[in-house]
């Protein structure tokens, strides 16, 4: 039986030889294969360092490992997904697969993302507009009534959350539209879904023959410059649209960047960043509501806000003078402005230009990723928030210890490590300590306005004393010893090591003294006391640099 995709595809696409995506994978060859098949240059390019790695070779046409990683991320089988050069490219290949020039139509719901109409026009397809309501909502009844009149409708583009307005489309409405239009393919663009409360329809697209979902690593995963996205649909449809791809669409460096960013050690920091951007979106929207010039501020499901101003030219001049770029969207609404959510410091400058000033000091944050052959670590710290605390080193007792540091230190900590625990805990324990110290150092920046010194002296039968000077100079003293070799999977001998690593990477003098009977108590006392000492040392204390030398 012919699939819907094959019935709808252009004859030119059907006449191309089938693409066997799986057979294109380099999986079958080891890294040491002798490649004399592709007229590549055997020598690495003359660029420095990791950039040179393997770029003298062509990439896999459809990178198998990235395809698997993205399929796992979106909860579908690899056969249901084709990796594209950004979601933009997926729009292009869909249009080129299905739309015959001068005959077929696509529908769009303006105001919306401009690429749908752009690629359709390039292909010579008709663009039928079915506008959103006055409040930018999707009205399924009105949409279906309008589509009833359209001949040769091939692709119906729906964007949820919508760019530039942020409005979501209820998944039930998307399904309803797909059911009502069995001879067209509904393309649901979920480029911003990570920032919304919507449920993805990716798994639904993998089984429903007239639904395709688009996803991208550009927005939620910070990879816009790498150009990595995908289309998700039935295996038959994916095979067909892959015929419209250029020979090697994804550059090796992009594949590598995407794979590194999707490694399991990055998951919790990605999640924390998305939460952070959503909180910041709500905060900026609240502040913008008090702006003397912004009206109708919409905080939808994207990493951006949409609002209107009376005098966009005046605002543009002001923003340009300050070096701030935003998108003006007069076609969406008169005086329409789309403002992306940036860092707290960036948002503060944009808000000031819109007439909103707050005394808020941006939070002191640090973010570090650290990869070696032995471990992959990602850490995020916010010294000015008590949460979240999410720690996964792979060693439960160590998780508990680092949690004590953050809890008693009064700061937010997200830390995840994928390490060689099959060997033992040594590398994971040490590398997490190094990365945590680096992250704290980054968050402290020039160390202006901190207490600098901290000490603590608590505990029951065990007694731990920790003294800290955030001097910028590493120095570590540890007095105490442990009888047991391990607490759970945690090697007790690592405790002095952890504090030395922290001292080195944070740039601090850390003196620890511990005594007592029970190793569990003693170890916990060290970490708790360190947290307490750190709390005092990083506490905000005016604006001054706490050093007579003028530098720390
Ligand atoms: C940014 C954006 C895209 C494009 O994503 P890339 O993967 O960077 O090409 C697709 N759809 C919408 C609605 C967007 O805003």
Per-residue pLDDT reduced to its tens digit, 476-505? 999 999 999 999 999 999 999 999 999 999
**Is domain 365-538 classified as CATH 3.40.640.10?**
no
Q: Whose CA is nearest to atom 15 of ligand 1?
A: 163
The fold for domain 4-27+42-259 equals 3.40.640
Q: What is the pLDDT of residue 154?
A: 98
Count the helices and strands in the chain (H runs, E runs): 18, 21
> What region, left, alpha or beta, does residue 462 occupy, with left being phi > 0 and alpha being psi -120 to 50 degrees?
beta
**How many C-beta atoms lie closer than 10 Å to residue 55's C-beta?**
16
pLDDT tens for each residue of 178-235 = 999 999 999 999 999 999 999 999 999 999 999 999 999 999 999 999 999 999 999 9
pTM for the predicted model, two decimal places = 0.92
Q: What is the pLDDT of residue 33?
A: 81
Cα of 149 to ligand 1 centre, how many Å?
Answer: 29
pLDDT band at 28 (very low <50, low <70, confident <90, very high): low
pLDDT tens for each residue of 111-121 = 999 999 999 99
Cα of 500 to ligand 1 centre, how many Å?
Answer: 45
Q: What is the pLDDT of residue 50?
A: 72
Q: What is the pLDDT of residue 452?
A: 83
* Residue 195 in contact with ligand 1 by CB distance below 6 A: no
User: Where in the chain is CATH 3.90.1150.10?
Assistant: 267-353
Q: Which long-range contacts (CB under 8 A, 24 or more apart) does 367-370 make?
A: 367/269, 367/439, 367/442, 368/435, 368/438, 368/439, 368/442, 369/265, 369/266, 369/269, 369/435, 370/431, 370/434, 370/435, 370/438
Q: Is the pLDDT of residue 315 over 80?
A: yes
* Residue 87 in contact with ligand 1 by CB distance below 6 A: yes
Higher pLDDT, 141 or 38: 141
Q: Whose CA is nearest to atom 7 of ligand 1?
A: 86
Q: Is the pLDDT of residue 551 over 90?
A: no
Q: What is the pLDDT of residue 27?
A: 60
Q: What is the pLDDT of residue 146?
A: 96
Q: What is the pLDDT of residue 458?
A: 59
User: Which of 81, 113, 261, 329 has the most ligand 1 atoms within 8 A of CB, as the residue to mutate?
Assistant: 113
User: Where in the chain is CATH 3.40.640.10?
Assistant: 4-27+42-259
* Residue 191 in contact with ligand 1 by CB distance below 6 A: yes
Mean pLDDT taken over the chain: 93
Higher pLDDT, 45 or 390: 390
pLDDT band at 279 (very low <50, low <70, confident <90, very high): very high
User: Where in the chain is CATH 3.30.230.40?
Assistant: 365-538
407-421: average pLDDT? 96
pLDDT tens for each residue of 347-386 = 999 999 999 998 888 899 999 999 999 999 999 999 999 9
3-state secondary structure 137-148: CCCHHHHHHHHC
The CA distance from 292 to 448, in Å, is 34
Q: Is the pLDDT of residue 457 over 70?
A: no
Sheet holding 509-515, edge to edge: 453-456, 463-469, 509-515, 475-479
The CATH class, in words, for 267-353 is: alpha beta
244-250: average pLDDT? 93
């Amino acid at each position: 039986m012919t699939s819907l995709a094959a019935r709808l595809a252009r004859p030119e696409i059907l006449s191309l030889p089938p693409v066997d995506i799986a057979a294109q994978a380099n999986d079958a060859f080891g890294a040491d294969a002798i490649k004399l098949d592709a007229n590549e240059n055997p020598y690495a390019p003359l660029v420095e360092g990791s950039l040179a790695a393997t770029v003298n070779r062509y990439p896999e046409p459809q990178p198998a490992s990235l395809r698997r990683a993205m399929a796992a991320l979106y909860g579908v089988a690899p056969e249901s997904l084709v990796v594209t050069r950004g979601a933009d490219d997926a729009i292009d290949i869909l249009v080129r697969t299905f739309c015959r020039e001068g005959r077929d139509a696509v529908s769009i719901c303006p105001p919306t993302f401009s690429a749908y109409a752009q690629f359709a026009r390039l292909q010579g397809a008709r663009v039928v507009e079915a506008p959103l309501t006055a409040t930018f909502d999707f009205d399924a009844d009105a949409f279906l009534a309008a589509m009833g009149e359209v001949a040769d409708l091939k692709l119906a583009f729906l964007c949820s959350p919508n760019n530039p307005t942020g409005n979501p489309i209820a998944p039930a409405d998307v399904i309803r539209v797909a059911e009502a239009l069995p001879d067209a393919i509904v393309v649901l663009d979920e480029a911003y879904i990570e920032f919304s409360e919507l449920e993805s329809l990716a798994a639904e697209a993998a089984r429903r023959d007239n639904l395709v979902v688009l996803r991208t690593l550009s927005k939620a995963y910070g990879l816009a410059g790498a150009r990595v996205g995908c289309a998700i649909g039935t295996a038959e449809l994916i095979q067909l649209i892959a015929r419209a791809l250029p020979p090697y669409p994804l550059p090796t460096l992009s594949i590598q960047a995407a794979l590194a960013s999707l490694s399991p050690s990055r998951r919790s920091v990605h999640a924390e960043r998305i939460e952070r951007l959503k909180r910041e979106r709500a905060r900026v929207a609240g502040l913008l509501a008090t702006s003397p010039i912004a009206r109708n501020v919409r905080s939808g499901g994207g990493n951006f806000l949409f609002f209107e101003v009376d005098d966009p030219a005046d605002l543009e001049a002001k923003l340009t003078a300050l070096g701030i770029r935003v998108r003006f969207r007069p076609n969406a609404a008169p005086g329409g402005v789309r403002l992306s959510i940036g860092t707290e410091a960036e948002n503060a400058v944009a808000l000031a230009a819109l007439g909103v000033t707050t005394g808020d000091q941006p939070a002191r944050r640090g973010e570090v990723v650290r990869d070696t052959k032995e471990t992959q670590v990602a850490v995020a710290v916010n010294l000015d928030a008590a949460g979240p605390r999410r720690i996964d080193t792979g060693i439960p007792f160590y998780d508990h210890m680092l949690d004590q540091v953050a809890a008693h230190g009064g700061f937010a900590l997200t830390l995840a490590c994928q390490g060689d625990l099959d060997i033992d805990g040594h590398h994971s324990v040490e590398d997490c300590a190094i990365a945590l110290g680096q992250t704290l150092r980054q968050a402290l920046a020039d160390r202006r306005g901190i207490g600098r010194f901290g000490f603590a002296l608590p505990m029951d039968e065990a007694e731990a004393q920790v003294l800290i000077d955030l001097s910028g100079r590493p120095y570590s003293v540890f007095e105490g010893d442990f009888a047991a070799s391990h607490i759970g999977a945690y090697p007790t001998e690592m405790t002095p090591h952890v504090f030395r690593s922290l001292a080195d990477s944070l740039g601090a003098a850390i003196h620890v003294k511990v005594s007592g009977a029970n190793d569990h108590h003693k170890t916990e006392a060290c970490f708790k006391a360190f947290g307490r000492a750190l709390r005092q040392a990083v506490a905000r204390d005016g604006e001054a640099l706490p050093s007579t030398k003028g530098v720390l």
